[in-house]
A and B are shown apart, each in its own frame.
Chain A
């Protein structure tokens, strides 16, 4: 299923749940064969129930209603509907055994949205289920024990007239999948699927209505099966059960109460059909109960009409009061209801077009609220000495784009207090922002902990860096560039490396450099010390034969000298070096002693 694009929605006829509500048994069997021979293992049974909303509905399952709850508006050109957040809900229970379909065909939903004028129905809270549905229906529902539910009670004739037929229920229920990118967050469900149950009655202007989402599970006793019949060449609605009963002409006295005999009933039915014009019959059907009660004393003809009407139904709840019959009432399991009034303006479009549009800070002059052109208002505060004071305040919502204060970060609210030069009053906008932030953070326990951990981590890593730097300087080990390296390991490797490499060749094994470092062997130094004209003069003074004028060549040994003995045995080398050394010293002595020459 492709996702709906922005601003679009996709409609589905129905979405079935993977499992319907009910009791289930899960049986696990393992088939094992060893060497071709079956080796049966014990199976195991698990039992579970799948339960969905059946006699009650949590309020959060209802995602939206139209017309709006307690709304006032011109809703007289719209069918009411209710959006349910759970997309499979209307099809989670069967409508009844008589209304099953083959797989792949549109199933019958068990929910219906019925619209009553407020005076037509009565909502009863917390009824026993047995008081709500007739015994036969209770049996078909599986006799669930101890159920209490809400119910809506209305005239049975009215219910038959306005309840949708099962085939209409199919058409009145569908699923919408909407794009949820551009809307505020829903409290729970935001998958974009909604099951929609529509009503079939259009509200009339000027009346208050109650819309009721009812369960019609197994209520085939109330749902009409057809809505049209041809009588006298006219297409009119006639209660199908009335027709059936009239044709049968056989009513048991018990269904009629005690005061009307079967023969009377038959006559009444005939009177109904032959003598009374059709519209009259229709008109009397929804006669309110109260009217009947008032006229019960003397209106025989009316009583006849009513009785005739009554005969047309299974007079299960017929009440006989002093010979006159009252309209029976029927109850339905109520899952959700809301009221609205059909009057005046109040559609989305009207509300939107009448909005007061402006930038923040635009106020009605009549409201007497002084707002500066920067958006600040004066508020009364109590300063920290306890004295009442007036300050300027502006929230984060401003009417002009502002640049960002680059002077941060601030460490206390006082740093963010400002005084307005023109008025001398304080501007506490940013200071209060600081305090709100501080309180919000302090109210969040986890944040405070994380903040501490963050700081501790930073302190620890900076102290670690200090240690690394110090180590590097003091032990002259290789620098550790990656701060994530394990320091000790790296240094240990460093040290072992150094040991393994051993000591390289000595720079000055024979002390020649030391001799040469003597000031008397350096003409430059002598020239500076004695104020001579040039290094040449000093060289002449020290003797032309001064050593630096020619390189010292020491014959390299035949093999590397690794032990003290080897060095001592290297006679040629020692002799040549001793020769140079002696010569240098003799040279120096000669030059110094004979310097006066």
Chain B
């Protein structure tokens, strides 16, 4: 038999004669932050080559959106694979086997901090925030969008809700925000492909035109152009069911050019009749007057429970569940170990 590398006696002697005693405040086998962050990232498929997500082009044709669930077994294997680096002997395997359960629980929590980390939040702060959320890991869902809209309208708003919410609504209202699902990841995989991941199952997903790209809209009525009068929050001022149009003055020397200052004066003049209209104090107020509100695209429900608003029963498809059944396990053990 091979002599042991170190005996208790030698260890004690070394420890007693060591120039300085170890006094780390962290247990020496705690997961290093960099590893935790890396593993949490790949849990959300960050960095996984696109061919592995969409193995065939035809699964995601141009101008399409595909919703999905994340297969947790798949992402668990990713983590297993990452930890297989340098796993050369039974010692490393035993080490991982002993820690796998705890590690996966840790990552279930850690998934929630990935988005903060991606947005350059400090690791300790992000981890404190995600650790405060003690809920067990839930289903992760999402969509992958391939459209020229992704490229042409960068930074569109993406939100998911656990119930259908009727328009019009303000996303920031407490009643609405309470139903918003946590966004785990929104990222561009290519210039026109966007992936978004949410925690839990959404009933409604919205894509909203980016706010900094909200366009300046003008209505064409025959040959004349008008803008509807708006209040300080961008809502149209209505008389009955109709908006109040203000004619856009154009330069007569060049028909396509708006007389911006004259338009501002016209908008201000319209305030006499409609005092709710935004006061034209500067470029900000002028911008509100000519903004088109962003278009908000809804994706709601599925064929099964369209429009009902009810949360459907979640039906899991069992993977490898049968192997865990007690009688089967027992008989296997009998075979291997003898009765």
Q: Which of B6, B54, B64 contacts A357 (CB 8 A)?
A: B64
Selected from A183, A405, A463, the residue in CB contact (under 8 A) with B157 is A183
Roughly how many angstroms separate A282 CA and B258 CA in the complex, as a whole number?
17
What string of 1s and 0s marks CB contacts (under 8 Å) between A444-458 and chain B? 101110111111011
Provide the A333-362 mask, 1 if CB < 8 A to any CB of B, else 0.
000000000000011110111111111111
Q: Select from chain B the residue with minimum beta-carbon distance to A286.
A: B254
Given A399-B69, A433-B74, A434-B80: A7 and B257 within 8 A (CB)? no
How many Å lie between the Cα of A435 and that of B85 in the bound state?
Answer: 10
Interface check B148, CB cutoff 8 A: yes
Q: Is the CB of B67 within 8 A of A434?
A: no
Complex contact B317–A436 (CB within 8 A):
no
B242 at the interface (CB under 8 A from A): no
Rounded to whole angstroms, the CA-CA distance of A35 and B264 in the bound complex is 65
Q: CB-CB contacts of B26-70 with A at 8 A, as 1s and 0s?
A: 011111101100100010010111001111101101011111111
Name the CB-closest residue of B to A349.
Answer: B295
> In the assembled complex, which residues on chain A have CB atoms less than 8 Å from the CB atom of B282?
13-14, 106, 170-171, 174
Closest to B160 in A: A182
CA distance A178 to B214 in the complex (A): 11
Cβ distance B38 to chain A, nearest Cβ, rounded Å: 5
- The contact string, 1 if C-beta is below 8 Å from chain B, for chain A 404-420, is 11111111110010000
Smallest CB gap from B73: residue in A: A405
* A448 and B260 contact, Cβ closer than 8 Å, known pairs A361-B59, A430-B77: no
Cross-chain contact B170 with A7 (CB below 8 angstroms):
yes
Q: Which of B126-134, B318-326, B331-339 contacts the other chain?
A: B318-326
- A435 surroundings in chain B (CB, below 8 A): 81
Residue A110 lies at the interface, judged by CB distance under 8 Å to chain B:
no
> Hey, which chain B residues are within 8 Å of A377, CB to CB?
55-56, 59
Q: Is the CB of B72 within 8 A of A463?
A: no
Cβ distance B114 to chain A, nearest Cβ, rounded Å? 11
What are 21 inter-chain pairs, A to B, with CB distance below 8 A? A66-B215, A68-B153, A161-B253, A179-B211, A182-B159, A185-B118, A357-B67, A359-B302, A360-B59, A397-B69, A401-B69, A404-B319, A406-B321, A409-B97, A410-B77, A430-B74, A434-B81, A437-B82, A441-B82, A458-B99, A492-B16
Compute how far the CA of A446 lies from the CA of B32 in the bound complex, rounded to whole angstroms.
11
Q: A9-B212, A404-B76 are in contact. Are A358 and B38 (CB under 8 A)?
A: no
**Is A5's CB under 8 angstroms from B63's CB?**
no
Q: Looking at B30, B159, B212, which has the most chain A CB atoms within 10 Å of its CB? A: B212
Q: Determine if B144 is an interface residue (Cβ-Cβ < 8 Å).
A: yes
* B interface footprint on A363-385 (CB within 8 Å = 1, 0 otherwise): 11001010100100101000000
- For B216-234 the 0/1 string (1 means CB < 8 A from A) is 1111100001000000000
Q: Are A437 and B78 in contact (CB under 8 A)?
A: yes
B residues in contact with A351, CB < 8 Å: 63, 147-149
When the two chains form their complex, are residues A364 and B259 in contact, meaning their CB atoms are under 8 A apart? Answer: no
**Chain B: CB-nearest residue to A184:** B186
- Tell me the A54-95 residues at the B interface (CB within 8 Å): 63-69, 71, 76-79, 81, 83
In the complex, which of the residues B11, B55, B208, B292 contacts A7, with contact meaning CB atoms closer than 8 Å?
B208
A85 (CB) vs chain B CBs: closest residue: B212
Kindly state whether residue B284 has any CB partner on chain A within 8 Å: yes
- Chief secondary structure at chain B's binding surface: mixed
Question: In this complex, which of A186, A200, A347, A459 has the most chain B Cβ atoms within 10 angstroms of its Cβ?
Answer: A200
Additional pairs, 17, CB under 8 Å, beyond known A397-B144, A433-B78, A452-B86:
A6-B180, A77-B218, A162-B254, A170-B282, A198-B287, A200-B258, A352-B295, A360-B66, A377-B55, A398-B71, A408-B77, A408-B100, A433-B77, A434-B81, A440-B42, A486-B22, A488-B15
Complex Cα distance, B34 from A448, in Å, reads 10
Looking at the assembled complex, report how far the CB atom of B199 sits from the nearest CB atom of chain A, in whole angstroms. 13
Cα of A5 to Cα of B77 in the assembled complex, Å: 39
> In the complex, A241→B48 CA distance in Å?
63
Name the one of B72, B180, B260 contacting A168, with C-beta atoms under 8 angstroms.
Answer: B260
Q: Are B12 and A488 in contact (CB under 8 A)?
A: yes
Query: What's the minimum C-beta distance from B242 to chain A, rounded to whole angstroms?
Result: 18
Q: How near does chain B come to A515, taking the closest CB pair, in angstroms?
A: 41
Contact for A236 among B23, B67, B253, CB less than 8 A: B253
- Asked if B21 contacts A486 (CB within 8 A), the reply is yes
Residue ID in chain B nearest A65 by CB atoms: B213
Tell whether, in the assembled complex, residue B96 and residue A411 are in contact, meaning their CB atoms are under 8 Å apart. yes
Instruction: Please provide the chain B residues from 149 to 194 with a CB less than 8 Å away from any CB of chain A in the complex.
Output: 149, 151-159, 170-172, 177, 180, 183, 186-188, 194
In order of increasing CB-CB distance, the 8 nearest A-B pairs are: A437-B81, A68-B152, A7-B171, A5-B172, A13-B282, A441-B82, A437-B78, A458-B29
Q: Are A7 and B172 in contact (CB under 8 A)?
A: yes
Give the distance to chain B from A259, nearest Cβ to Cβ, in Å. 27
| A399 touching B259 in the complex, CB below 8 Å, given contacts A161-B251, A174-B283, A489-B21 | no
Does B147 lie within 8 Å of A416, measured CB to CB? no
Pairwise interchain contact B58-A436, C-beta atoms closer than 8 A: no
CB distance from A448 to the nearest CB of B (A): 6
**A253–B42 Cα gap in the complex (Å)?**
76
Decide if A396 touches B74 in the complex (CB within 8 Å): yes
Q: State which of A201-209, A263-271, A296-304, A504-512 sits at the interface with chain B.
A: A201-209
Query: What is the bound-complex CA distance between A171 and B209, given in angstroms?
Result: 23
From A77, A184, A194, give the contact of B217 (CB < 8 A): A77
B22: A residues at CB distance < 8 A: 486
List the B side residues contacting A442 at CB < 8 Å: 85
Q: Is the CB of B256 within 8 A of A196?
A: no
Binding stretch for chain B, among A135-143, A467-475, A565-573, A583-591: A467-475
How many angstroms from the CA of A173 to the CA of B282 in the assembled complex? 10
Q: Is the CB of B261 within 8 A of A171?
A: yes
Knowing A6-B177, A78-B218, say if A369 contacts B210 (CB, 8 Å). no
In the assembled complex, B310 has its CB within 8 A of some CB on chain A: no
Contact A403 B316 (CB under 8 A): yes
CA distance A64 to B251 in the complex (A): 28
Residue B243 interfacial (CB < 8 Å): no
Min CB gap A364→B, angstroms = 7
Tell me which residues across on chain B come within 8 A of A185, comparing CB atoms: 118-119, 186-187
Interface pair B183/A182, CB less than 8 Å apart: yes
Are B11 and A458 touching (Cβ within 8 A)?
A: no
Closest to B209 in A: A348
B58 touches A399 (CB 8 A): no
Q: How far is the CA of A176 from the CA of B155 in the complex (A)?
A: 14
A533 at the interface (CB under 8 A from B): no
Contact (Cβ within 8 A) B69 A459: no
Interchain CB contact under 8 A, B316 and A401: yes
Q: Is the CB of A405 within 8 A of B319?
A: yes
B84 at the binding interface (Cβ < 8 Å): yes
CB distance from B317 to the nearest CB of A (A): 5
Q: Judging by beta carbons under 8 Å apart, are B76 and A405 in contact?
A: yes
B281 contacts partner chain A, Cβ-Cβ < 8 Å? yes
Check A184/B70 contact, CB under 8 A, given A227-B251, A438-B85: no
Q: Does B91 sit at the interface, judged by CB under 8 A?
A: yes
Of all chain A residues, which has the CB nearest B186? A184
In the assembled complex, which residues on chain B have CB atoms less than 8 Å from the CB atom of A164?
A: 260
Question: Once bound together, how far apart are the Cα atoms of A429 and B193, in whole Å?
Answer: 23
In the complex, what distance in Å separates the CA atom of A377 from the CA atom of B154? 32
Instruction: Please pick, from A180, A397, A450, A451, the residue contacting B68 in the complex, using a CB distance under 8 A.
Output: A397
Would A394 and B71 be within 8 Å (CB), given that A79-B258, A406-B324 are in contact? yes
CB of A228 within 8 Å of the partner chain:
yes
Task: Tell me the bound Cα distance from A154 to B316 in angstroms.
Answer: 65
Cα A210 to Cα B154 in complex, Å, equals 20
Residues of chain B contacted by A409 (CB below 8 angstroms) = 80, 83, 96-97, 100
Contact with B along A19-44 (1 / 0, CB 8 A): 00000000000000000000000000
